[in-house]
Amino acid sequence: MYYDIIKSLHLVSIISWMVGLLYLPRLFVYHNDTKHLSKMDTVFLLMEFRLFTYIMTPALIVTYILGFVLLYENLYFFNELYFLFKLFLVFCLTIFHFYLSILYKDFKKGYRIKETKFYRLINEIPTVLMILIILLIVVKPNFHTI
């Protein structure tokens, strides 16, 4: 039962983290079209700050903590190639998380260097990574026989 509770909480934290990873770049799409120090700029900065600080980062931390607990209970996963690929993709999501922080700081400084199309494009990155991670975890492909 303990394991199932930890696994359930891990899934809840993953969902919370993913919501932020999907929503923050969408906010950047709209934020990019505002003028620095305008009322809308201030509103977007506040929304982005709260999303990143109060939802995304705590969800990332809880996801990792509970993931490590689950991994400690199942060390044999390190022998599975699909799981190692999954860990790599989760690491990519983590790098993306911190990249979004850099983009937020650019908006805070008033920079509008990138085109709106860029933010629309990066909005797809967490979706693709999420799909690949879910496929790896559910299908558990045996790469040894390929």
Q: So where are the chain's domains?
A: 2-145
Taking residues 49-54, report their average pLDDT: 98
Alpha carbons 25 and 29: distance in angstroms, whole number: 6
Alpha carbons 146 and 132: distance in angstroms, whole number: 18
Alpha carbons 35 and 42: distance in angstroms, whole number: 10
Q: Where are the alpha helices (DSSP H) in the chain?
A: 2-31, 39-50, 57-73, 81-108, 116-122, 125-139
Q: In the predicted model, is pLDDT for residue 15 greater than 90?
A: yes
Q: Which two tokens stand for residue 27?
A: 């906010």
Closest CA to 132 of 79, 82, 66, 70: 82
Average pLDDT, the chain: 96
Q: In the predicted model, is pLDDT for residue 138 greater than 90?
A: yes
- Please give the distance of CA 66 from its chain centroid, rounded to a whole number: 16
Q: In the predicted model, is pLDDT for residue 77 greater than 60?
A: yes
pLDDT at position 145: 58
* First vs last C-alpha separation in the chain: 36
Alpha carbons 34 and 16: distance in angstroms, whole number: 27
DSSP code, position 142? -
What's the pLDDT band for 143 if we cut at 50, 70, 90? confident
